Amino acid sequence: MANIIVAQLLYLDAVDPNKDIVMYVNSPGGSVTAGMAVFDTMRHIRPDVSTVCVGLAASMGAFLLSAGTKGKRYSLPNSRIMIHQPLGGAQGGQTDIDIQANEMLHHKANLNGYLSYHTGQSLEKINQDTDRDFFMGAKEAKEYGLIDGVIMNPLKALQPLAAAEEGLDRASI
């Protein structure tokens, strides 16, 4: 899935670098490295990327939701957003387990640093809140800084969606 999203983002950038992209997020999360590929692509391309949570944005899904262009991160009113620390496991010899544990610590520090930047929350608060599953409704996610608004009518709130209504279906992925 991440490879498809990366390809679509790059394609939309090549087609019209001045046209905002709307990325709908309905995800229970997934691989940190796959999610970081999407995140890096979102930052690499020229268009603004508006994010909209529809349903659930959990784990890496919540991270990507928060990584949309500031002022253009939204949720529908009944969506749920959840942040937590990276999950994983390790097996093998003690040295192999140490290597995997260090990699998990790297991912945790990296993700929490970005979450702090995206939300405006202190790193200490992010570390505390991501220690366990931390669920929020749309309103709470806005107050937390993960999103910028709760929308009732996407066609009125997001201009790229209005453009899509006029036949420019490339405005959303």
Query: In this predicted model, what pLDDT tens digit does every residue of 30-61 receive, in sequence order?
Result: 999 999 999 999 999 999 999 999 999 999 99
Q: Give me 76's structure tokens.
A: 């529908």
Active site residue 59: yes
Q: For residue 159, what pLDDT is reported?
A: 55
Structure confidence by residue, pLDDT tens digits, 100-157: 999 999 999 999 999 999 999 999 999 999 999 999 999 999 999 999 999 987 666 5
**What confidence tier does 22 reach under pLDDT thresholds 50, 70, 90?**
very high
- What is the domain partition of the chain in residue ranges? 2-171
Grade residue 164 by pLDDT with cuts at 50, 70 and 90. Answer: very low
Q: In the numeric block, which tokens belong to residue 143?
A: 């107050």
Query: Measured between alpha carbons, how far is 173 from 171 in angstroms, rounded to an integer?
Result: 7
**pLDDT for residue 171:** 38
Q: Quick one: average pLDDT of 168-173?
A: 39
Residues 83-92 pLDDT 10s:
999 998 889 9
Averaged over 67-79, what is the pLDDT? 97
Note if 107 is an active site residue: no
Nearest Cα residue to 53 out of 30, 88, 32, 81: 81
Integer Cα distance of 159 and 163 in angstroms: 6
The active-site residue, picked from 27, 50, 79, 84, is 84
String of DSSP letters for 29-60: ---HHHHHHHHHHHHHSSS-EEEEEEEEEETH
- Evaluate if residue 73 carries a pLDDT over 70: yes
Please state, in angstroms and rounded to a whole number, the distance separating the CA atoms of residues 52 and 164. Answer: 15
Give the whole-angstrom CA distance, residue 150 versus residue 75.
5
What's the CA gap between 146 and 70, in Å, rounded?
10
Annotated catalytic residue, options 59, 66, 75, 79: 59
Contact 2, 29 (CB under 8 A): no
Task: Give the Cβ contact number of residue 73 at 10 Å.
Answer: 24
The predicted pLDDT at position 173 comes to 36
How many Å apart are CA 44 and CA 54, to the nearest integer?
24
Residue 153: per-residue pLDDT: 76
Instruction: Using CA atoms of 141, 146, 151, 155 in order, give the dihedral in degrees to the nearest 10.
Output: -160
Question: Domain spanning 2-171 has what CATH number?
Answer: 3.90.226.10
pLDDT of 167 reads: 43
Residue 93 backbone phi and psi in degrees, to 5: -70, 165
